[in-house]
Amino acid sequence: MQITNSEEKMIALCGMNCSYCYVHHKKKKPCLGCRLSDEGKPEHCRKCKIKDCANEKSVIFCSECPDYPCVLIKRLDKSYRTRYKESLINNMKVINEKGMDYYLRFEKKRLKCPECKGVLNIHHKECSQCGKIFEVVELK
């Protein structure tokens, strides 16, 4: 799989869509995503073992690795499913089965604030513009 545009660059190696991360929406020092500068990133993102492993294996996405899903991915996915009701493994499954364009279009609809059309973040299910909290439909 290749990354061809800025939206695709926001998809982390693990399947996290950094466009919908609360750190990306900070007013001061927003994170630019997993694939770009470490500026604005929380410490756990700067020291990410998954990113180090993927870079070492020269894969664009972890799902390209023969060991996928590995223990690291399974742990992170379990944490995201438990805490945020989001599955990074499911994100990669949708990307691999239906394509990056489908995934990005679906996420734009799914994570758009129904009130003000701002962007919802997946960590707090909160709009980056109006601050309202919403339930988010599951990615399919």
Q: Which residues of the chain have pLDDT under 70?
A: 1-5, 136-140
pLDDT at residue 124, rounded to an integer: 85
The residue whose two tokens read 């290749």 is 2
Domain ranges of the chain: 6-127
Is the Cα dihedral 31, 34, 5, 99 positive or negative?
negative
pLDDT at residue 3, rounded to an integer: 63
**C-alpha 114: how far from chain center:** 21
pLDDT at residue 56, rounded to an integer: 93
pLDDT at residue 1, rounded to an integer: 64
Q: Which amino acid is at 76?
A: L
pLDDT at residue 137, rounded to an integer: 67
pLDDT at residue 24, rounded to an integer: 87
- Is the pTM higher than 0.95? The answer reads no
